[in-house]
Structure 1
C-alpha cells in the first residue's frame, strides 16, 4: 500500500509540473562544474544587439502615421524578453555561481571581487532601463559595462 501511495504521489507531482509548464533550466545552481563563461558573455552581447534592433523598430513603427500596433507590441515584448535574459545571466549565472565571495583581508582579490560586483550591478540596472525606454544610449552603456566586466572577470589577456 505504501508503494502505491508513493507512486500516486509521484504521478501527481509530475502531472502538476506538466500542467503548469515547468521547464528545467541549465545551470540550476547544482554544482556540476560545467560552465561556459565566455558563452554567457556572447549571449549577453547577442541580447544587447536584439534589444537595440527592437528599440529601432519600436521607434520606426511609432513614427508612422498609422502604426501597426500588433508589430509594435511584439517588438516591445521582444525587447523585454532579451533584457530579462541579461538579468538572469547576471544573477543566476555570474552572481549566484561564478563570482565567489572573498575576504576583505586579501586586498587584490577583494578589489577584483568588488569591481566585478559593481559591473554586474550596472549591467543588471541598464538591462532594466532598456525595458523602460527606447533610448539607444542605454545600449552603448550596456556594451561598455559588459566589455569592462569581461576584462575584470577574464583579465586583460581576454
Structure 2
C-alpha cells in the first residue's frame, strides 16, 4: 500500500468511528450553538413518541407475527426518541447552556430536569398522557431558547 495513502485511510477510519459521538454537538468552546433548533428537534422526538404509542395501542392484542414484529419496533422507537431527549438535555443543555451564574439558574434546572423525568416516564409507559406531559415540559424551555432572526 502506498505510504501516503495508509495514514489517510487510518485518519478517515478514525473520523468515521468518532463522528456519531460528535453528532449531539461538541463539548468544546466552539461557540456554534442553535438552541432553538435543539428544542425543535426534541419536539420532533416527542411527536415520534406520540406516533409510536398510538401504534403500540393499535397493535396491542394482535397475535400474528407481523403485528408482533411491528409492536416491538414501535416500542424500540419510542424508547430511542425518549432517550434522544434525555441526551439532548443532559449532554447539550445542562452541560453547555445552563450556567450557575444565570439569575434564574434554579428555575432552569427544575425545568430541564422536568423534561428528563417526563422522557423517562414516556419510556416506562404506553399512555399518551405521558407524552402530553413531555411535550408541555419541552415547550416550557422554548422561552429560554428563542429563534434567532438574522
CA separation in 2, counterparts of 1:124 and 1:14? 35
- Which of 121, 125, 137 matches 1:133? 125
Check conservation: 2:39, 2:141, Cα contact below 8 A.
no
- Which of 111, 116, 126 matches 1:124? 116
After TM superposition, give the deviation of residue 143 of structure 1 in Å.
Answer: 1.4
Over alpha carbons, which structure has the higher Rg? 1
Q: Provide the residue aligned with 1:73 in structure 2.
A: 72
| Count of aligned pairs between the two proteins | 139
CA RMSD after TM alignment: 2.5
Q: Provide the residue aligned with 1:84 in structure 2.
A: 83
After TM superposition, give the deviation of residue 28 of structure 1 in Å.
Answer: 2.2
TM-score, structure 1 normalization: 0.76
Larger RCO of the pair (alpha carbons < 8 Å, separation 6+): 2
CA separation in 2, counterparts of 1:37 and 1:21? 23
CA separation in 1, counterparts of 2:79 and 2:111? 21
Q: Which segments of 5 or more consecutive residues in structure 2 lack a partner in the other structure?
A: 1-8
- Flag as ranges the 4+ runs of structure 1 deviating above 6 A: 11-18
Is 1:98 matched with 2:117? no
Is 1:52 matched with 2:20? no
Q: Provide the residue aligned with 1:4 in structure 2.
A: none
CA separation in 1, counterparts of 2:122 and 2:93? 20
Q: Which segments of 5 or more consecutive residues in structure 1 lack a partner in the other structure?
A: 1-10, 104-108
After TM superposition, give the deviation of residue 98 of structure 1 in Å.
Answer: 0.5
